[in-house]
């Protein structure tokens, strides 16, 4: 009887121990704003405008959403991008989600600390600094640098985060 209980208990304990690590975002090295900016293919300052694909229900995910947010490109900070807009997976919100740390941000804003490694909610009408990588052709993503500040909301066109990124880019010229 004790052996049978032990045989059942070991797999159950293993599953219980593995579930939190499977659900939580884990990275081997802490994010580096310097490395992130250096490795980015494209950095845009953009305004979250509306949905190009609206949510079909109230269901949200911490993973990659099926909904798509349309951004109006305000400026190209790094790389070449000529289109007037960019569309990314995400949700629109009426709440601000500024990073609660000082630039250079050591990690993603609060919305991205909820399990998926990436923030996926954008305040409609707000500006964001989008640090992007090319996935194929003219397709870009912010989901490439886990827990990094790849899509931070800006308080103004002279936001300290934007100023810091611009200084890093100038130093690399």
Q: Which domains does the chain have, with CATH numbers?
A: 29-171 (2.40.50)
Single out the residue of 110, 156, 105 nearest to residue 131, CA to CA.
105
**One-character DSSP codes across 106-132:** SS--GGGGTTTSS--EEETT-EEEEEE
* 82 alpha carbon, distance to own chain's centre: 23
pLDDT in tens, 96-109: 999 999 999 999 99
- The pLDDT of residue 19 is 36
Per-residue pLDDT for 13 more than 50? no
pLDDT in tens, 34-66: 999 999 999 999 999 999 999 887 766 656 789
Phi and psi angles of residue 132, each rounded to the nearest 5 degrees, phi first: -115, 155
Phi and psi angles of residue 152, each rounded to the nearest 5 degrees, phi first: -85, 140
Model pTM score: 0.83
């Amino acid at each position: 009887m004790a052996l049978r209980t032990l045989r059942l208990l070991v797999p159950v304990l293993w599953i219980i121990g593995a579930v939190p690590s499977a659900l939580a975002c884990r990275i081997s090295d802490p994010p580096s704003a310097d490395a992130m900016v250096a490795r980015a293919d494209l950095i845009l300052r953009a305004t979250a405008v509306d949905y190009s694909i609206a949510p079909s229900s109230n269901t949200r995910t911490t993973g990659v959403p099926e909904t798509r947010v349309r951004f109006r490109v305000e400026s190209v900070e790094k790389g070449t991008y000529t289109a007037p807009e960019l569309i990314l997976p995400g949700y629109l919100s009426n709440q601000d989600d500024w990073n609660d740390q000082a630039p250079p941000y050591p990690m993603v804003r609060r919305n991205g600390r909820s399990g998926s490694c990436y923030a996926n909610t954008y305040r409609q009408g707000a500006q964001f600094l989008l640090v992007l990588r090319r996935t194929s052709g003219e397709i870009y993503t912010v989901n490439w640098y886990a827990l990094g500040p790849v899509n931070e909301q800006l308080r103004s066109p002279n936001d300290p985060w934007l100023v810091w990124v611009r200084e890093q880019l100038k130093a690399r010229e």
